[in-house]
A and B are shown apart, each in its own frame.
Chain A
């Protein structure tokens, strides 16, 4: 495994504040309603990057909240998600944990309607994106996916494209190019903490990067369309510990501009990155709450058994 030397520096500040549950950024409430006007990708979110004109917090563009209401998902006749009510707060990281096959991946794929891409699969119930049902007939699935990005388990940069083109793919494919593409790409790569590593080889194929770099490239790719929410489906399960750490640091920075939902098998990871954690079992929600609470004083005995490693 390659280990990249020149990663972005991450301050310890966030790591300390992480355990304080429910620390929603103050600007969230106001920001949610100001969309409709085109937003410009923030130049950079990483701390040591060049100073931004507005400087710090005022520039942050908040994510949106999501609420699942009686969500059910099926593969043919088999029901994988059995009536789920769950809320993801804006600009927070929510981790979904649970044993294999509990429906957590299916659930997350329902949020941006990727679930219906599988033949025979369908979903019922509602997924409210800041009060708007993404399953409403008037809603265009393509627009849903622009607003809700997704990062997959296996890093999968487009094999025919260079690093630059991979990041530019979103704006190009969605015909939503705004401003300078080069700036968008650089900004997305900076936000994904990859710019320093690839700045001098943007024309090389994306598939030539290491696994961890590829995954950050995929994150940059989804950032380039400026989503409000990013869904991550076990983004680190194919990566080594150091690459995993980088992604986790990145998640911590990204939550200031997007809402993040992360499915993970790794309970330590959930404890490290998530503000809130939900525990699922057999397609149902067992318990959701501040991460610390879930891991230290869960209300449900099944949660306790799972987090203490008694099953799963």
Chain B
């Protein structure tokens, strides 16, 4: 113990040798440099991506490329609207189908389910997230799509008067089947976030509702759902981000036809699918156009994820500030779920 000695006597007594201080500095500056390197790397990728996409944007203009309605490889004319539309339709369908189911599963798991079943149920839903995208594609194209085609055809003929849905010949790969499989794929993330948000609803809110004589459903509707709304919306947006960027399953299921389809049950294309499908053989301007499609996709997911994260983290932060004990833990778990997303 070389601590305090005669005041003012000799060298600083409450010091360590510079050598002993070294590891701390090395660690601090090394780690800081690493964090800075990550930032630099992302910036580098973004700049290079813009650079590679450049020629396509120059030729057709940023808006002309993004909203041009013709994607013709042979004519070297590239407009991304059919891809953008395909991406939005399939992702929108995924939300439409997936979110209600996911939220219902979350409600069931947190509020209605017998305590014994809660953990296995949660696990099963989360296992859906473990299935690789390519396996969804495989199952979708070889099992689900052929089996559902008659039903889709029946629906299309019965609803022939409804624009966009009715009429036309149903192909095996199409927007609808893609959206359906995407719905299954986003189910676990939407459900997990909804569940974590609902778990942060203070017990006294729920007990207050029940104490007033509310039925279970009334309690869910008046205490649970309003409290978790922004979290659920955020979770859905994260699911949307997933669906927008999903590549392989979509490439397998959407049919890869670069046209603006007028029917839900027709083939189409998406931004991610066009890259996966055409990049291998692409040359010159075609390749630039694919980079440009990647950039459009990148920006689109960035926007959606930004909004989503804002919503979910606001919900989580609210709980972390106001909640005590269990609420705080749940908030941390929520943050973890988002992080894992």
> Are B1 and A38 in contact (CB-based, < 8 A)?
yes
> Across the interface, do A35 and B5 meet the contact criterion of CB distance under 8 Å?
yes
For chain B, residues 5 to 31, give those with C-beta under 8 angstroms from any C-beta of chain A: 5-8, 10, 12-16, 20-21
Q: Are B5 and A33 in contact (CB under 8 A)?
A: yes
Interface size classification for chain B: 10 to 19
A142 neighbours in B (Cβ, 8 Å): 16
Pick from B4, B6, B8, B16: contact of A147, CB under 8 Å: B4
Segment from A128-136, A209-217, A261-269 that makes contact with B? A128-136
Contact B14 A228 (CB under 8 A): no
Asked whether B127 is an interface residue with its Cβ less than 8 Å from the other chain, the reply is: no
Instruction: List residues of A (31-90) whose CB comes within 8 Å of B's CBs.
Output: 32-33, 35-36, 38-39, 64
Residue A140 interfacial (CB < 8 Å): yes
Kindly list chain B residues whose C-beta atoms are within 8 Å of the C-beta of A129: 3-4, 14
Contacts of B20 in A (CB 8 A): 175
Instruction: List, in ascending order, chain B residues with CB within 8 A of A252's CB.
Output: none
Contact of A139 among B2, B5, B8, B12 (CB under 8 A): B12
- Which chain B positions have C-beta within 8 A of A29? none
Q: Interface on chain B toward A: helix, strand, loop, or mixed SS?
A: loop
0/1 per residue, A219-241, Cβ < 8 Å to B? 00000011010000000000000
Task: List CB contacts (< 8 Å) of A127-183 with chain B.
Answer: 129-132, 134, 136, 138-140, 142-144, 146-147, 175-176
Smallest beta-carbon distance A143→chain B, Å: 5
Name the A residues within 8 Å of B3 (CB-CB). 35, 64, 129, 143, 146-147, 228
List the B residue with the shortest CB-CB distance to A144. Answer: B14
CA distance A39 to B5 in the complex (A): 12
Which residues of chain A have C-beta atoms less than 8 A from B10's C-beta?
Answer: 36
Of A33, A38, A144, A225, the contact of B6 (CB 8 Å cutoff) = A33
| Contact A134–B14 (Cβ < 8 Å) | yes
A266 to chain B, nearest CB (A): 24
Cα distance A18–B321 in the bound complex, in angstroms: 45
Is A39 in contact with B7, judged by CB distance below 8 angstroms? Answer: no
Is A226 a contact partner of B4 (Cβ separation < 8 A)?
A: no
**Known interface pairs A131-B7, A132-B7, A140-B21; A35-B1 also in contact (CB < 8 Å):** yes
Q: Which of A107-128 contact B (CB under 8 A)?
A: none
Contact with A along B15-54 (1 / 0, CB 8 A): 1100011000000000000000000000000000000000
Given A36-B2, A38-B1, A39-B1, does the pair A143, B16 have CB atoms closer than 8 Å?
Answer: yes
The reply to whether A132 and B4 contact each other, CB–CB distance below 8 Å, is yes
Q: What CA separation (Å) do A139 and B12 show in the bound complex?
A: 7
Contact A38 B2 (CB under 8 A): yes
A131-B8, A143-B15, A228-B1 known; 19 other A-B pairs, CB under 8 Å? A35-B3, A36-B5, A38-B2, A64-B3, A132-B4, A132-B14, A136-B12, A138-B12, A138-B14, A139-B12, A140-B12, A140-B15, A143-B3, A143-B13, A143-B14, A143-B16, A146-B1, A146-B3, A228-B4
Which B residues form the contact surface with A (CB < 8 A)?
1-8, 10, 12-16, 20-21
The 10 nearest A-B residue pairs measured at CB: A131-B7, A147-B3, A36-B5, A139-B14, A138-B12, A143-B14, A140-B15, A130-B4, A140-B16, A226-B1
Would you give 10 A-B contacts (Cβ < 8 Å), ordered by A? A35-B5, A36-B2, A38-B2, A131-B4, A132-B7, A138-B12, A143-B3, A146-B1, A176-B1, A225-B1
